[in-house]
Amino acid sequence: MSAHTRPIRRTLMTVILLTCGAVMLITSAAFFAYEYLTFRQLTLRNLEILGKAIAANSTAALAFDNPGDAREVLSALKAQPHVVAARLYLNDGRLMASYPDAAAHATAPSAPGNDGYRFEFGLLRGVQPVVQDGRRMGTLYLESDLGEIYEHFQFFLGIGALFTLACFAAAYLISGRLQGVISKPILALAATARQVSERRDYSVRATRTQGQEFSQLTDAFNHMLTRIEGDQTRLQSQLGRLDLLYRITHATGARHDLPSLFRVVLHNLEEDLPVDFGCMCVCEAGADALSIAVIGPKSAQCASALRLAENDQVPFDQNGLARCLGGELVYEPDTREIRFPFPQRFSEAGLRSLVVAPLLVEKRVFGVLVAARRASESFSSPECEFLRQLSEHVALAAHQAQLYGALQRAYDDLRQSQQAMMQQERLRALGEMASGIAHDINNAISPIALYTESLLEREPGLSEHAREYLGTIRTAIEDVAETVARMREFYRPREAELVLSRVECNRLIDQVVNLTRARWSDQAQQRGVFIQLKTELAENLPDIMGSEVEIRDALTNLIFNAVDAMPAGGTLTLRTRLVSSGGDITRQVQVEVADTGIGMDEETRRRCLEPFYTTKGERGTGLGLAMVYGMVQRHSAELEIESAVRRGTLVRLIFAVADPIVPAASARPRPQQLLSRLRILLVDDDPMLTKSLRDILEQDGHVVTVADGGQKGIDTFTAALSHGPTFSLVITDLGMPYVDGRRVAAAIKAVSPHTPVILLTGWGQRLVAENDIPAHVDRVLSKPPRLTEVRATLADLVPVGETSAAGRDSETHRA
């Protein structure tokens, strides 16, 4: 049993016994210490006396060197049982006699030590000189154990133990009678406290006992119970009000309209506070009267007596309610003493106590809570404080209810705006990423474009199939170039100054079918899958305005997606139709791509236009439908997606019909004059591009010198300027290691200002669109270059018949 749970009677007994024991222990310890020291000295003196007597009796044996007499003298030590050894030595240290005989091989030393008696190693040892007439004749060694001391102490310990037990017994008997004087009042007080704790009955009181201190303790305990009883009553009332406040607050939190919110508050007040009448009034900003919004469910009878109904107006200046509108709670303990019309109504209806609590939010009162009881002075101070706190919660809940509708509408608008903004940001990120790879793609397709155009132009003996194939290659290259060019900014609406061309949708679909045939026919059949393609093209379909390349790419992506959605085969349908809305005023062309594949659930359909969102795993990039969406945005068109799981998907593109063609005088294209033989310096680090462009330019009769880096190009041009022949113009790439196209152009213009510099780069369209043309550059061409564009640029920069500016600069430089 721990000290905290031990009864007080046992505790008092323990304290008394421990006190007695401590006193006896200290007394006995002092007595034993004294006896121990005293008996040690007595034993030492007795051995010393014995030694002197034996030494005196041994003088004759030493004088006559008689060992027998010496042994006889030592044998007298048998009368001393605690002497365990004795030796008699001659002056020269030789042993003459010992006691007993075994001692010669015991603990006694072989030679005597220093004179004197001392305690060593649990023994008492003594060295006594043998002297006769002042002359030392030998030495006596004595050795005694401490058994006598131990026996003495055992005797005293036994007496002490018996005495201690007798003292403990006497203390136990005496304390058993005396501790009741202290423990009984305390136990009685503890029993009263336990009764209060178990029954929670604070009306119990402890009985006073004898003794001033115990009487004071009992009075203090009873006074504490009185205080606790009062506090308990007040606490229960406060807890009830707090619980009511919590239930009202919780109930109002789930309501977002003022009437239902007010009814919940009034119903709880009528049931649990309670009140005999309750209503809610609201005050519009700038109004001079309160409007009764809601009357409590159980207050209808009182409301009739008060001549009040919902939506009635109560002027606050004429009824003494101005203080409440200033944010102050108004409590009238007796309405019969108030002369204002509104309180007088309550007095006439038998409602004597009135509380008007303001509904205050953001330092503005927008209403009041009215509560009344029939008895006068029936609202206590805690109840008034409760009504004030309740009015704050109700005001906040009502204000939130008013804001909820507006916030919900604002949230809906914001969500739509955020979704649009997120879509634009994702597309912007895609465009920025695509811009980084545009240069490499353009470099890769440039040789293909150049050789394709050259073959179509210079090889008249090509078969019809070969020309058709080359035409398809040229169309595909143009599509790739256009796609790369717009990938950086496909998320932005098309600028107004860009001119869209007329597009025949039916012809465009025929092209897309041929371009994608390998995907939906050949590759599908290799996998053992059959996909049936149907085209349902409307007759006499009007043209639309747009970019043929972009629309063709979008339809290609849609076809690829449809094929991927039919891993087991199915039907792919391409359809065009003309629809009218608003009579015949607005006509639209619809292009539909439908499949009978796996379809999409609602979540996938909602997110399918997001960049990088894909359901194809590692096979998909998540860019196809995002690019389709970008095309639709740029064309101010519409995109509709209809899909259901295991029922297929239909994607509908809706374009506005183009305006009718207005006949106009056809402008004759300016004939391109043939250029004289030019010396051209071509600077680029891509060997495939330089070879293809060099071959094409040399076929036109020009002399082309290639430099595979920026610094080499500068050195080649400078050497030609010094030693001739000079170059007519310079064509340079932009992105090259160490020395880029900007530095090449600057170096060329520094030594020959009149030499034209053409910048041929995969970032050409971006530089032109952003008006970021580098200084010292006369013209920017985009990769892949078109022969007509290259020839037109050469003709513009170096007119026929004009002397090479580089030649003039060279002559000037050499002069």
Six token digits for residue 663:
């006949």
Q: Which residue has the tokens 């060694």?
A: 141
Lowest mean pLDDT among 280-294, 502-516, 740-754: 280-294
Confidence of residue 609 (pLDDT cuts 50, 70, 90): confident
Over residues 19-26, the mean pLDDT reads 82
Residue 668's pLDDT is 44
pLDDT at 613: 65
**What domains lie within the chain, and their CATH numbers?**
8-173 (3.30.450.20), 255-379 (3.30.450.40), 493-656 (3.30.565.10), 679-814 (3.40.50.2300)
Q: Peptide bond before 112: cis, by omega within 30 degrees of 0?
A: no
What's residue 537's pLDDT?
93
Q: Which of 325, 340, 341, 327 is nearest to 286 (CA)?
A: 325
pLDDT tens digits, one per residue of 451-503: 888 888 778 888 888 888 888 888 787 777 766 665 554 444 444 444 578 89
Can you read off the two tokens belonging to residue 195? 């009764």
Rounded Cα gap, residues 768 and 789, in angstroms: 15
181-196 confidence digits (pLDDT tens): 666 777 777 777 777 7
Closest Cα partner for 247 from 116, 393, 382, 129?
393
Residue 787: CB partners within 8 Å, gap ≥ 6?
Answer: 450, 453, 454, 457, 696
Average pLDDT (265-280) is 87
pLDDT score at 815: 32
Q: What is the pLDDT of residue 805?
A: 43
Lowest mean pLDDT: which of 73-82, 208-217, 659-668, 790-799? Answer: 659-668
Highest mean pLDDT pick, 387-396, 422-431, 730-739: 730-739
What's the confidence (pLDDT) of residue 493?
A: 46
Whether omega before 725 lies within 30 degrees of 0, making that bond cis, reads yes
Peptide linkage before 671 cis (omega within 30 of 0)? no
Terminal CA-to-CA distance of the chain, rounded, Å?
122
Cβ 701 vs Cβ 791: under 8 Å: no
Tell me what pLDDT residue 704 has: 92
CA 396 from centre of chain: 31
**pLDDT at 683 (0 to 100):** 93
Per-residue pLDDT at 665 exceeds 50? no
Region 758-787 average pLDDT: 80
Sort 759 into a burial class: Cβ within 10 Å, 0-12 / 13-18 / 19+. buried
Residue 813 has pLDDT above 60, yes or no: no
At 517-563, the pLDDT tens digits run 888 888 888 888 899 999 999 999 999 999 888 898 899 989 998 99
Specify the 3-state DSSP secondary structure of 532. Answer: strand
* pLDDT (mean) for 741-750: 91
pLDDT-derived band at 434 (thresholds 50, 70, 90) equals: low
With a cut of 90, say whether residue 372 has pLDDT above it. yes
Produce one character per residue of 250-279: b if its CB has 16 or more CB atoms within 10 Å, e if not.
ebbeebbebeebbbbbbbbbbeebebbbbb
pLDDT at 251: 63
Q: How open is the CA angle 566-640-410, to the nearest 5 degrees?
A: 130
Residue 586 has pLDDT above 60, yes or no: yes
pLDDT of the residue at 467: 82
Say whether pLDDT at 699 is over 70.
yes
pLDDT of residue 220: 79
CA distance 509 to 527: 25
Burial of 100 (0-12, 13-18, 19+ CB in 10 A): middle
> What whole-number distance in Å separates Cα of residue 592 and Cα of residue 577?
9
